[in-house]
Amino acid sequence: MAEKLSRRPYLRPVTSEWIFRHPRYLRYMVREFSCLFIGGWTLLMVWGLKQLSEGPAAWAVFLEVLKAPEIIVFHVLALAFAVYHSITWFNLTPKALPLQIGDGFMPDAVIAGAHFAAWAAVSLAVLYLAGAF
């Protein structure tokens, strides 16, 4: 088809090898892959809701499945990716929510720092209210 044209427009090849051209691209992709773990863990919890709605025996099955080695491996990876997502997300907050004060801007470290503090507070509150410690 393309050979029959008198003009042959340049078709930029679509590849995925660009990821490995620079560590920055790789870090970007690692951050993006966090969606598989956060989404996957959420779907596991949707199944947990199903088990919860079906009674104590079904819920016990859910708790038992959590102890499977492959689920534990998934959980450890999901935790690492979720933490990485949080760090990258809060590091971007000064770009997403710049705060102007008079002629200047609130320093980036203050905006990101406030978000990291909120993250710590929410995490501690969740763990405390859930009775984890």
Partner 1 sequence: MARSNKPIVWGPFAAGGTLTALLTPALVLLTLLAAFGHAPEVLAFERLHALASHWLAKVTLAGVVFLSLWSAAHRLRITCYDLGIRADTVVATLVYAGALAGTGASVLYLLRI
Q: Which residues in this chain contact partner 1 in the complex, by CB under 8 A?
A: 14-16, 19, 29, 32-36, 38-39, 41-46, 49-50, 52-54, 56, 59-60, 63, 66-67, 71-72, 75-76, 78-79, 82-83, 85-86, 89-90, 118-119, 122-123, 126-127, 129-132
| DSSP assigned state of 67 | T
What Å distances lie between residue 92 and 35, 62, 111, 113, 123, CA to CA?
A: 17, 36, 10, 11, 20
Q: How far is the CB of 57 from partner 1 (least distance, A)?
A: 9
Distance CA 96, CA 111 (A): 10
Q: What is the DSSP letter of 16?
A: S
| CB of 6 vs partner 1, minimal distance in Å | 26
In the complex, least distance from residue 102 CB atom to partner 1, rounded to whole angstroms: 27
Task: Tell me the angle at which helices 69-91 and 108-129 cross, rounded to the nearest 10 degrees.
Answer: 150
Q: Closer to partner 1 at the Cβ: 54 or 105?
A: 54
